[in-house]
């Protein structure tokens, strides 16, 4: 019995030590390098001269806003240019750095719904991963977001990026980085379930680009957290493919 108690005490001490280590690493990560950044203008931007008009709205966090790269190198403009090959696109980017899914629901979706968009890219989830948002809350927020958009336009095409692979972030030390990778999977599973139930298109950013980011830290910006222009360039083909599927006429 005494041996069992000793083992139990050792486990408790190890867990306490791990918790302290994770907290310290999180504090250090928050105090890492920060680059000046201004969220993009919400003014509409026109791209393309031919084809049918297409109202395109981006909702999201810093990745939707293009933090870490020049704005035109980010995913909003990159995907809009792709759409402009076949459409006269009006892009409105409502993404805000730091936003979680609940923030999209509170601060962005009403403006998006008023535009009655034809297609919406929802680029968020990273802050829910690192901010420890309960996965059930993420799922409900995405469901409500989709419902608001469809109430404004039942035919709207919606693409969800889910969270990028937060286990690739060089700014996070181990074992915090591994925990972030595990959390990415947990959050994305809930987003994937909403996509399945709602017949939405999922752009699997974490699965398709995460291995590349893990192998090549130079794909990150100087803050060692956001993608740089080369990093976003690995996302854009995945997003373009998903947007094409979302806009493809039903068979």
pLDDT in tens, 28-70: 445 566 667 789 899 999 999 989 999 999 999 999 999 999 9
Q: What are phi and psi of 130, to 5 degrees?
A: -80, -20
User: Are 118 and 85 contacting, i.e. CB atoms less than 8 angstroms apart?
Assistant: no
Alpha-carbon distance 206 to 204, whole Å? 6
Residue 78 counted as domain residue: yes
Say if 240 falls within a structural domain.
yes
Residue 196 is assigned to a structural domain of this protein:
yes
**Domain of residue 241, CATH code:** 3.40.50.1110
* Residue 38 pLDDT: 85
Give the residues of the chain that fall short of pLDDT 70.
1-35, 250-251
Q: Is residue 159 part of a domain?
A: yes
pLDDT for res 250: 58
Q: How far apart are CA 137 and CA 158, in angstroms?
A: 20
In a domain, 20, yes or no: no
Q: How many domains is the chain built from?
A: 1
Residue 8 lies in a domain: no
Q: Report which secondary-structure segment, H or E, holds 185.
A: helix 176-198
Residue 134: domain span:
32-247
- State residue 118's pLDDT score: 97
Domain-located, residue 22: no
Residue-level pLDDT at 12: 46
Looking from the CA of 250 toward its CB, the CA atoms found within 13 Å total 6
pTM summary value: 0.86
């Amino acid at each position: 019995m005494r041996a069992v108690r000793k083992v139990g005490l050792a486990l408790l001490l190890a867990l306490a030590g791990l918790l302290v280590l994770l907290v310290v690493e999180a504090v250090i990560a928050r105090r890492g390098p920060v680059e000046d950044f201004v969220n993009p203008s919400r003014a509409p931007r026109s791209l393309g001269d031919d084809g049918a008009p297409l109202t395109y709205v981006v909702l999201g966090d810093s990745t939707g806003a293009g933090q870490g790269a020049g704005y035109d190198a980010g995913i909003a403009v990159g995907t809009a240019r792709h759409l402009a090959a076949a459409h006269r696109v009006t892009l409105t980017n409502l993404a805000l750095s730091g936003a979680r899914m609940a923030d999209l629901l509170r601060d962005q979706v009403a403006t998006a719904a008023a535009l009655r968009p034809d297609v919406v890219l929802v680029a968020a989830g990273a802050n829910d991963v690192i901010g420890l948002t309960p996965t059930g809350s993420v799922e409900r927020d995405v469901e409500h977001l989709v419902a608001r958009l469809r109430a404004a336009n039942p035919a709207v095409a919606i693409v969800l990026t889910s969270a990028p692979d937060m286990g690739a972030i060089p700014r996070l030390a181990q074992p915090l980085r591994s925990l972030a990778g595990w959390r990415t999977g947990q959050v994305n599973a809930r987003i994937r379930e909403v996509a399945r139930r709602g017949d939405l298109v999922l752009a699997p950013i974490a699965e398709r680009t995460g291995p590349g980011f893990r192998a090549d830290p130079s794909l990150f910006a100087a803050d060692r957290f956001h993608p740089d222009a080369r990093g976003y360039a690995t996302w854009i083909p995945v997003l373009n493919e998903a947007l094409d599927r979302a806009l493809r006429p039903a068979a």
